[in-house]
Structure formats: C-alpha cells, structure tokens
Amino acid sequence: MMSIKNRQHGGAMVVAIVVIAISVWLSFKLVPVYLQNGAVSTVLDGIRQETDVAKKSNADLQQLLLSRLGFEKIDRINQSNFAELVKIERTVEGFSMTVQYDTRSKLVANISLVVDYKKTIKVP
C-alpha cells in the first residue's frame, strides 16, 4: 500500500514553478508601464528645474512638455489629448502642472491590468 506522502511528492515544486511563471509574465506586462511613468516623472521634474519656466505661457509649457516627451519616445500624451490629460493652473508665483492618465495592459481575453498615474509639479 502506497502512503499519501509518497503520492504527493513533487507537488510543491509544480506549484512553485507556476507561481514563478505567473510572476515573470506579470512583470513583462507591468515593467514597461512603470518605466514609462518614470520617464514622465523625470520630464516633469526637468521642467520644474528649468530656469525662468514660471514666466512661460501655457502654450509654451505645452510645447515644452510635448517636445520633452517626444524626445523620451512617450506617445501617450500628444497634441490631441493634451487638454484631457494635462492641467496647467496659474498661481500668484508661477503655475502647477498635473499629468493624470491610466494605462491598460491586456493580460488575457477580457482581463486587463489598469495602472493609474498622477503627478503634480508646482513651480514658484
């Protein structure tokens, strides 16, 4: 008679391999999204640190952001959806710029991962 222990030998290894495979697969889906979000953050931080940026008009700020995003090969924000995804508000000292969007990454069939992104910079 074979004991239960002998019949279950190796089951944990199969579960571990499946968990690792799913983790790697999700990483391949999520890493590009987070890299893009990091690049957008870097572009916004660069705009905040630019000299005399507070004196620029909203149209100049839009062109500055779009050109830097283009340089980083980020096409998520463009001329046609700029007003929807980017808000520029003037303050007494300067302005604040908020970029907010969500990115969907399709997993299988009708299941997707949604990553929300929002960052605000304030320029005195």
Q: What is the pTM of this model?
A: 0.81
The pLDDT of residue 33 is above 80: yes
Range of the domain at 46: 4-123
Structural contact between residues 117 and 103, judged by C-beta atoms closer than 8 angstroms: yes
Write out 15-74 in H/E/C secondary structure.
HHHHHHHHHHHHHHHHHHHHHHHHHHHHHHHHHHHCCCHHHCCHHHHHHHHHHHHHHCCC
In this structure, what are the phi and psi dihedrals at residue 121, rounded to the nearest 5 degrees? -115, 145
Domains identified in the chain, total number = 1
- pLDDT, tens digit, 9 for 90 and up, residues 36-80: 999 999 999 999 999 999 999 999 999 999 999 999 999 999 999
